[in-house]
């Protein structure tokens, strides 16, 4: 167990300095070291971080934190959180620690398998849990040459275990937020049964008239509200890609470039 900020940020194990690039997120408010080859974060962890209604002082756990992208974007938007990340791959765990130092944030990074969390962590509870599990079942996509990218895209841990671990670590009335491929929504909903309630799903569609490719899930431990399937959040203007320029809708651009919160639809 390591607390980022206890020392200087050195190059992460397994990532030579020349193999890393420093990239801006939230319009430069967050800077993240990422491997030039292999898994590189896009907008998905930023949208996930923006979906949490976190408040200063709350305890937040990310399962599979990678290089810390979602946690650090969340910490920039909501100062004063107590942030913890669990990451299986040592190279990415060290990268998350380095990124925390880079952004002058305090993040506890625990290198562990979700199926075998340390005893200390299994005794703790959190107000918020977030997760961006691999989008594909193991073996269900073309293999990647880079090991880190291969695990990030198609891990061996079933979604049911991700949700079970999240539910066990949540305090009563705590929230899980997860981003995942839309075609895996049935697995997620099945896994939530008996573990989490007050489930809400926000589809993310690339353009008007296009099917949602991703979904954001919100579920609450001890929640009893009815299931809610919201209208999709449309990411881009127009019905098709016309030029190689950014076309995010204004509310999405505010999330990605200005660190705004994602506004979940409210009950009418």
DSSP one-letter string for 182-248: GGGHHHHHHHHTTT-EEEEEEEEESSTTSPPSEEEEEEETT--SPPEEPPPEE-BSSSS--SSS--B
Residue environment code for 173-192, b if the CB has 16+ CB neighbours within 10 A, otherwise e? ebbbbbbbbeebbebbeebb
Q: How far apart are CA 18 and CA 4, in angstroms?
A: 22
**Domain spans, the chain:** 2-195
Query: pLDDT under 70 in the chain at which residues?
Result: 1-14, 138-155, 241-245, 267-268
- The pLDDT of residue 203 is 98
The CATH number of the structural domain formed by 2-195 is: 3.40.50.150
Q: What is the pLDDT of residue 145?
A: 55
Give the containing element (helix H, strand E) for 121: helix 119-122
User: What is the per-residue pLDDT for 15?
Assistant: 86
| Helix, strand and coil percent figures for the chain, each rounded to 5 | 30, 25, 45
Q: What is the pLDDT of residue 245?
A: 67
Q: Which residues neighbour 29 within 8 Å (Cβ) at sequence distance 6 or greater?
A: 76, 259
Residue 154 has what pLDDT?
Answer: 44
Gyration radius of the chain's alpha carbons: 18
CA distance 125 to 167: 10
- Quick: pLDDT tens for 232-243: 999 999 877 666
| Strands 170-181 vs 107-111: parallel, antiparallel or unpaired | unpaired
| Count of helix runs (H) and strand runs (E) in the chain | 8, 12
pLDDT in tens, 14-26: 688 999 999 999 9
Distance spanning both ends of the chain, measured CA to CA: 45
In angstroms, the CA 80 to CA 83 distance is 9
Residue whose C-alpha is closest to residue 104's, from 29, 193, 48, 44: 29
| CA gap 30, 24 in Å, rounded | 6
């Amino acid at each position: 167990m390591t607390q980022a900020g206890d020392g200087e940020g050195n190059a992460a194990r397994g990532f030579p300095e020349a193999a890393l690039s420093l990239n801006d997120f939230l319009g430069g408010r967050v800077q993240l070291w990422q491997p030039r080859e292999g898994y590189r974060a896009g907008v998905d962890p930023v949208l996930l971080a923006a979906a949490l209604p976190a408040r200063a002082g709350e305890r937040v756990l990310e399962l599979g934190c990678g290089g810390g992208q979602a946690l650090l974007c969340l910490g920039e938007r909501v100062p004063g959180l107590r942030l913890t990340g669990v990451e299986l791959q040592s190279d990415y765990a060290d990268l998350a620690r380095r990124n925390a130092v880079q952004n002058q944030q305090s993040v506890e990074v625990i290198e562990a398998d979700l199926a075998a969390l340390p005893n200390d962590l299994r005794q703790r509870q959190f107000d918020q849990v977030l997760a961006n599990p691999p989008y594909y079942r193991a073996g269900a996509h073309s293999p990647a040459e880079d090991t880190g990218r291969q695990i990030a895209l198609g891990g061996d841990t079933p979604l049911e275990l991700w949700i079970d671990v999240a539910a066990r670590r949540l305090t009563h009335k705590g929230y899980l937020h997860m981003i995942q491929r839309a075609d895996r929504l049935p697995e997620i909903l099945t896994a939530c049964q008996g573990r989490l309630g007050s489930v809400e799903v926000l589809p993310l569609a690339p353009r008007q008239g296009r099917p949602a490719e991703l979904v954001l899930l919100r579920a609450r431990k001890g929640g009893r509200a009815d299931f809610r399937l919201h209208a999709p959040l449309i990411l881009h203007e127009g019905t098709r890609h016309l030029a190689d320029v950014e076309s995010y809708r204004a509310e999405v651009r505010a999330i990605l470039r200005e660190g705004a919160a994602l506004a979940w639809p409210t009950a009418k």
